[in-house]
Amino acid sequence: MENKIFGYVRENGKIGVRNHVLIIPVDDISNSAAVAVENIIHGTLAIPHHYGRLQFGKDLELFFKTMIGAGSNPNVAAAIVVGIEPKWANKIAQGIAETGKPVEAFYIEKNGELKTIEKMCRSAVRMVEHATSLKKEWVNFSDITISLKCGESDTTSGLASNRIVGRFTEKFLQNNGTVLFGETTELTGAEHIVAQRLKKEEDRNKFLKMFNEYQELIKEQGVDLLGSQPTEGNIAGGLSTIEEKALGNIQKIGNAKIDSALDYGEQPVGKGLHFMNTSSAAAEAVTLFAAAGAVVHLFPTGQGNIIGNPIIPVIKITANPNTVKYMSEHIDLDASGLLNLRENLDHYADCLWNKIIETANGKFVKAEILKHREFVLTKLYPSA
C-alpha cells in the first residue's frame, strides 16, 4: 500500500488535499455578498449558512470556533470574511490569520453591499492567483487527519461497511495517523465501551459528562425518540433499537484505543484516535470535523446518503447491493462482496486505503462531482 500522498503543506505545517479560496459570510444577511463573489471570481468557494446573529454564551463560542476552524482547515489556501459589522468579521479573520495563510475581512455597513462585493472581488483575484501558484509536495499519508461518520445505517452497516472503516482505522493508526469520530447521540447503549477505550481517566470523565448531558436533555423534554433515533430509515433497514444502532456504529473505530475526548469543534492535540462531541446529523457532524482539521471524511452508509461538504471530500462506502444498484452515483466504494464472501475484510480495507490515496492526490469523489456542499452549523440554543 502507498504511504505517500501529493499534498499541500500549509504555513503552519498542516497537510491539505484540496486548495480552496474560501468566502466566509459571518451572518445570514452576508450570504448574498459571499455568493456574489463566488459567481464572479473563478476559483472561489462560498459557504453560506443561516446563523451568526444574536447568538450568545457557549453557542456563540461554538459559532466562532466553527467559522475560524473552517477557514483554518488545511484544505483552504486563503480566505475572505464578510459580515454586516466589522467586529465579528475581524474576529474570525484574526483567528484564521494565526495559521499564517492569507485572509482579509470586509463589512457591509457604511460601505454598501455593491461596493463591498467589488472590494472582495479584487481581494479574491489576488488570493486565487496565490492559491493557484502553490506547489504540491510528497508527504506522508499519515500526516493528514481523517474523520468518520456514518448515515442511513441498516444491518449491512454494522456487518460490513462500518467494519471496513474500522479495519482501515486500525491500520491508519498503526501508521501514526490521526482520526476523529463522534456522534454522541448515537452511542447510546455502547457508551460504556467507548468510555473503556479512552486511555486517560480525565478524558473518560469528560466523555461521560458530554454523553450524560445529552441524556438529561432528552429526559427533560419528556420525548420518545423512536423514529428519530433510530430513524425511520434505520428501522426499515432492520435496526430496531438505538442500542443495536450504537453497537454497529462503533465498528468504525475497530478495536482501537482512544487518545482523547474533545468538545464540539475542538482541535485534537497530537496524533491518534480522538472522540469529538457532535450531533448525529450528518451535515452538522461533518462540518464540525472540518472545523477541527479533518481533510478527508469517510462515510459508510447502508441505504444510501447523499451528504457532501464544501471543504472536505466525503468518501461513501456501502455493502448493500441495492444501494450500489439504485444510488451508484453517490457510492465511491462498493463493498457488497464482503457480505457474499467474494472478498474479505482486509481486502476492502486496502481498497479504502487506496481510494483515500487517490482522493488525497486530487481525484474527485462523487459528492464533489455532484456539487454536494452541505455546510451546516451546530446550534445549541435559540437566538437571543
pTM for the model: 0.96
Residue 225: predicted pLDDT: 61
Q: Are 206 and 274 in contact (CB under 8 A)?
A: no
How far the first Cα of the chain sits from its last, in Å, is: 53
Residue pLDDT, tens place only, 283-297: 999 999 999 999 999
Using 50, 70 and 90 to split pLDDT, how confident is the model at 228? low
What whole-number distance in Å separates Cα of residue 46 and Cα of residue 30? Answer: 11
Model confidence pLDDT, tens digit, residues 4-41: 999 999 999 999 999 999 999 999 999 999 999 999 99
Instruction: Give the residue from 284, 294, 266, 292 showing the smallest Cα distance to 379.
Output: 284
User: Given pLDDT bands bounded at 50, 70 and 90, which one contains residue 53?
Assistant: confident
Q: How confident is the model at residue 223 (pLDDT cuts 50, 70, 90)?
A: low
Q: What is the mean pLDDT of residues 239-268?
A: 92
Query: Residue ranges of the domains in the chain?
Result: 20-133, 141-369
> pLDDT tier at 378 (50, 70, 90 boundaries)?
very high
Check whether 76 has a pLDDT greater than 90. Answer: yes
- Name the band, by pLDDT with cuts 50, 70 and 90, for residue 67: very high
pLDDT in tens, 299-309: 999 999 999 99
What's the pLDDT band for 226 if we cut at 50, 70, 90? Answer: low
**CA proximity to 106, closest of 91, 89, 92, 125:** 89
Q: What is the CATH topology of the domain spanning 20-133? A: Rossmann fold (3.40.50)
Q: What proportion of the chain, given as a percentage, has pLDDT over 70?
A: 98
Query: Phi/psi at 80 (nearest 5 deg)?
Result: -125, 130
Return the number of other C-beta atoms located less than 10 Å from residue 350's C-beta: 16
